Structure formats: C-alpha cells, structure tokens
Amino acid sequence: MQGRRCILPGASLAFVYACDPEDSLLLLGWEGHETRVSVPLRLPFAPESYCRDPLVWVAPDCLPPGTAHQRRVWHALTRIPVGETRTYGQIARAIGSSPRAVGQACRANPWPLLIPCHRVLPAGAAPDRGSAGGYAGQVAGPLVGAKQALLRHEADRKTEINGNFLPKGE
C-alpha cells in the first residue's frame, strides 16, 4: 500500500491517503484521523492537485456506506460548489431533515475532502473571523483548523477567478 501526504496551505495537519496497486483508494483522512475505505473507490481528483487549486475538486461517483439519512446529507454536500458554503439549516430544509441530524451526518462523514462537510456552517458563522463551527466531531483543535484552512483555500481561489484578486507581481 502506497501512502501519500499533502499539505494544505494554512493547515496544521496533512491530508493523507493510500491506494492499492490498482489505484483503488484504501485509506483517507487527516493525519491521525484516517479512515479505511470500505467500498472500492477511485479518487475523483488528486488531493495534491486540490491543495494547489481547489477548483479541481469533483464529487465522487459513489457515496460511502451509511444510513439512508446520512447518504442524503452526503449527497447534498457534494452539490455545494467549491468556494461556497451552506448552513446546517439550509441543508436540512433541502432534504427534509433537522439541522442537528445534518450535523450528526457531517460528523459521521468517513470521506473528508471527497464529501465536503467543511462547506457546512452553523447559522451566524463567520469563517473570515475564525468562526466556522466544528469539524469531524471536534469543536476545537487541529481538525477545526483544517476546516478553516479549507474554507480559506477555496474562498481565496474563487475570489481570484472572479477577478477580484491578483497574486503579487501580476
């Protein structure tokens, strides 16, 4: 099994994954919080490429095993475009659920980055001021920092594409 790590700018943890010799994904997650993949899956994009440019993100062709509710939530998350966010309440209304149940499904998401639960925020969150809510069941610590880094990374690139930002020297 070949393991790989990629560092997202501003995150204190590396995103790690491992594939078998046929390039089927076996393991993925944030360093120290990896999860085995229990269904055959080919990566829909290279995590290293995402760390350079989040616009390469595409939704996976399948969802991880879970309850019918979790899978409805995870499918809804894959519909959130890169650089955009939704609240738990918005997702809940869209699928006929409750915000708390959506949060529980986000917490149970075994495929971080592929199923973008980092794009879901509590009502009134202000990611630009360091308030983005919990991530992967934690409300403080390096995983929450990873969520904030993901949101910044995606928002910065979206702003750059919309012509509102030019890197220094251009």
Asked whether residue 117 is domain-assigned, the answer is yes
Q: Is residue 166 one of the residues assigned to a domain?
A: no
Return the sign of the alpha-carbon dihedral for residues 40, 149, 46, 16. Answer: negative
151 pLDDT above the threshold of 80: yes
Kindly report, residue by residue over 82-119, the tens digit of the pLDDT: 999 999 999 999 999 999 999 999 999 999 999 999 99
Euclidean distance between CA atoms 48 and 52, whole angstroms: 7
Compute the distance between CA of residue 11 and CA of residue 3 in angstroms, rounded to an integer: 19
The encoded tokens of residue 8 equal 């997202």
- Of residues 19, 51, 106, 117, which has the active-site annotation? 117
Structure letter (DSSP) for residue 81: P
pTM, two decimal places? 0.86
Assess whether pLDDT exceeds 80 at residue 130.
Answer: no
How many domains does the chain contain in total?
1
**Is 169 inside a domain boundary?**
no
CATH number of the CATH domain containing 37: 1.10.10.10
Q: Catalytic residue at 117?
A: yes
Could you tell me how far CA 139 lies from the centroid of its own chain?
16
Classify residue 143: in a domain, yes or no.
yes
Q: Determine contact, residues 57/50, Cβ cutoff 8 Å.
A: yes
